[in-house]
Structure 1
């Protein structure tokens, strides 16, 4: 975890653009979910969009 001072933070941090494929591999999403996100956004999307739209299977199963 990293603390960011409010005066240093800018709006670009919230709108960082990710490759959907890279995001899925980093967050261990399956191929079906990667395909769904690619259809929804195309090859690139903001981190915020990906986090809000990614569906993950529960870890307890």
Structure 2
């Protein structure tokens, strides 16, 4: 007999709207379009954070 995994141990991934992410992180329209082309309308937070190209705030 097989055991069924408990749902309590399942981790979820945080999924964001690319448009909301771009607005929240002050990305340019060009960068927002690049991320939309790369991922579509939704992506995980990790994918967005690792692929967003931002100018440093101090410049």
Choose from 27, 30, 34 the match for 2:25: 27
Per the normalisation by structure 2, the TM-score is 0.77
Structure 1 runs (4+) greater than 2 angstroms displaced: none
Q: Please show how residues 1-61 of structure 1 align to structure 2 within 5 Å.
A: 11-12=11-12, 15-61=13-59
Structure 2 gaps, min length 5: 1-9
Take 1:16 and 1:60, find their aligned partners in 2: how far apart are those partners? 29
Tell me how large the CA RMSD over aligned residues is: 1.1
Q: CA deviation at 1:59?
A: 2.0
Q: Rg: which structure is higher? A: 2
Take 1:17 and 1:59, find their aligned partners in 2: how far apart are those partners? 25
Q: For this pair of structures, how many residues does the alignment match?
A: 50
Q: CA deviation at 1:24?
A: 0.4
Whichever structure has more helix as a proportion of its residues is 2
